[in-house]
Structure 1
Amino acid sequence: MDGAPTPRDPFLRSRGMKIPKHPQITTGRIRGAIKGETYERKECDAVMRMVQDDDVVLELGGGIGYMSTLIATHKKVRTVHTYEANPTLIPYIRSVHEANEVTNVTVHNALLADGPGEPVPFYVRQNFLGSSMDKSIDEDSIVSTEMIEQRDINAVLAELKPTVLVCDIEGAEAHLLPAADLSCLRVAIVELHPQWIGQAGVQAVFDTMHRAGLTYFPKASEAKVVSFRKGW
């Protein structure tokens, strides 16, 4: 009808995907990066170059579901398993998958560790993108504490047999990856956090990849996002 208000689009559009608008997630800088297709650009570029049809992908650090959706909608992968510790992000990740008719991604609200362990506390904050396992950061903003399951990374690798690892776990890469048998991988894409893990942590990641038969691949690496592959 003439003069009727136009319904607002509930989605942002990015790299051919529909990203549901959310009052706490798709705001400010994140909104601009999603719309401008610069959100996690280096990691996206590496994934698009390295992931192949029929791959099994293990993603550590699911974030807002952007990367797993990109992989599932742009590559004919067999499956993606996404691990995200932040429980408040899980419903949103699933909403991103649903909006893009993604059916081959399994989301796990769990932490991978260097062995089996008891559940660990995760501190949910008012701005839940700031939620973390570190209680000391802005304690006044904590609204709840959730206990998050820990799973043995080697048991998960043995069960899933992934061919691709995509890892962005805010510095935990320096101690988790060296504990893992990554020999099943064809490709690994890791966002390093040298500001937290230092030179020794960066070296530990590179040494781990080399032990797994994976070689640094500069053509799919940029700044802190480093890619490794088997063979040349």
Structure 2
Amino acid sequence: MKATQLIYMILPYTRRELPGWGKLFEKLGGYQSELWKNAPTRTIRGKFHQYLMTLDISCWHERMTYFLGRYYELDLQLFMIEAVKPGDSFIDIGANLGMLTLMAARCVTPTGTVHSFEPNPVVFKRLQAAVTNNELHQVTLHNCGLADRQSEMTLTLVNEELGMGTFTEVAQKDKPLISNQYQLTVYRGDEILPEELPGITFIKIDVEGLEPLVIRGLDRTIQRLHPVIMTEVVPQHLERGGSSVQELCEIMQSYGYQPFNISTKRSGWRHHLQLTHPTDNKMTENVLWLHPENNLSSRLEKYF
């Protein structure tokens, strides 16, 4: 029996996320990319949002999604389930294949709105297909990147994994892995987003180190709406983008925002959302920024 055939036998175990699923998945070769080079594309319904997801399980992150039945970043999804409500607005900047776009569409329902930005033309086609196949009329797609001003930038794709695209300088050791480059126009978010957005506005930013530029390009939106903001915080990515964690914090603090680490904790057989103040400037990879004039705290009081 092939290793990839054996691992399918634990699918009911991984989908339920029972204790030890990760070690079992690893032991049976779930992380060994060479075993999955010729793996087929599969379509499943997400267990959180119930929308169709077509997954290329030769790619590690899509393989994880297939075996879990959900996008692998659990902390963000648990936050969205608890915080994003029908009639709200969600801005997905760096939408990639649309895993969080689908989650947001379920949370805001057709009474809300989702705006998703993805500059990679290959990835965007799959994002577009996911939205079309699930008939998500509340989702508006934008095939572009965002920054602090309109300009031309080079999007570099590193290896053949669809998620590995960046507008920042690629590390020297990764340059042999570059698979393609695109000259693209990036825009200020303020120039694209509508003036009025329904409900509470949530903005998720995951742009491989250009988070400070994107935030500056949303200046009017931030000052007008005081949206809930979630950013990826990876020091190496920010440094490649010519910034730092300190600069990102200073920008957010200048708008009056406070940071909270987004994480999960296990209770019994399940993981639950946890929001904490960073200590000693230690931040999790995903950080929540809240403004005192935003009334989200009432929805999340039990998680602080």
Q: 1:171 to 1:143 in 2, by over 3 A?
A: closer
- Residue 34 of structure 1 and its aligned partner are, at CA, apart by 4.0
Aligned residue in 1 for 2:36: none
Aligned residue in 2 for 1:5: none
Q: 1:208 to 1:121 in 2, by over 3 A?
A: closer
Does residue 117 of structure 2 align to residue 83 of structure 1?
yes
**What CA distance in whole angstroms lies between the structure 1 residues aligned with 2:258 and 2:159?**
42
| 1:216 partner letter | P
State how 1:49-128 maps to structure 2 within 5 Å.
49-76=82-109, 78-117=112-151, 119-124=152-157, 127=160
Does structure 2 retain, via aligned residues, the 8 Å contact 1:114–1:154?
Answer: no
Q: 1:91 to 1:196 in 2, by over 3 A?
A: closer
Does residue 241 of structure 2 align to residue 203 of structure 1?
no
**What CA distance in whole angstroms lies between the structure 1 residues aligned with 2:99 and 2:74?**
11
Of 176, 189, 192, which aligns to 2:214? 176
Does structure 2 retain, via aligned residues, the 8 Å contact 1:46–1:189?
Answer: no
| 2:208 partner letter | E
**What CA distance in whole angstroms lies between the structure 2 residues aligned with 1:190 and 1:42?**
12
State how 1:147-186 maps to structure 2 within 5 Å.
147-157=183-193, 159=195, 161=197, 163-178=201-216, 180-181=218-219, 182-183=222-223, 184-186=225-227
More displaced stretch, 86-95 vs 96-105: 96-105
| 1:168 partner letter | D
Query: SS of the counterpart of 1:21?
Result: strand
**What CA distance in whole angstroms lies between the structure 1 residues aligned with 2:55 and 2:73?**
18
Cα RMSD over matched residues?
3.1
Runs of 4 or more above 6 Å deviation: none
Does residue 251 of structure 2 align to residue 212 of structure 1?
no
Does residue 234 of structure 2 align to residue 193 of structure 1?
yes
Query: SS of the counterpart of 1:195?
Result: helix
| Deviation string, structure 1 residues 43-102 (Cα, Å, up to 9, x no partner) | 212222222222222211011111001110233252111111211101111222233331
Does residue 265 of structure 2 align to residue 227 of structure 1?
no
More displaced stretch, 176-185 vs 123-132: 123-132
Does structure 2 retain, via aligned residues, the 8 Å contact 1:174–1:202?
Answer: no
- Residue 166 of structure 1 and its aligned partner are, at CA, apart by 0.8
Q: State the TM-score, normalizing by the size of structure 1.
A: 0.78
| 2:231 partner letter | V
Q: 1:226 to 1:126 in 2, by over 3 A?
A: closer
| 1:112 partner letter | L
| Deviation string, structure 1 residues 124-169 (Cα, Å, up to 9, x no partner) | 5661523444466755555554332211233235646582111111
Aligned residue in 2 for 1:32: 64
**What CA distance in whole angstroms lies between the structure 2 residues aligned with 1:213 and 1:50?**
20
Query: SS of the counterpart of 1:85?
Result: coil
**What CA distance in whole angstroms lies between the structure 1 residues aligned with 2:134 and 2:158?**
28
**What CA distance in whole angstroms lies between the structure 2 residues aligned with 1:45 and 1:205?**
24
Choose 1 or 2 for highest CA Rg.
2
**What CA distance in whole angstroms lies between the structure 2 residues aligned with 1:203 and 1:141?**
30
Q: 1:113 to 1:89 in 2, by over 3 A?
A: same
- Residue 110 of structure 1 and its aligned partner are, at CA, apart by 0.9
Give the unaligned 5+ runs of structure 1: 1-7
| 1:214 partner letter | Y
Query: SS of the counterpart of 2:90?
Result: strand
Q: State the TM-score, normalizing by the size of structure 2.
A: 0.61
Query: SS of the counterpart of 2:86?
Result: coil
**What CA distance in whole angstroms lies between the structure 2 residues aligned with 1:205 and 1:159?**
25
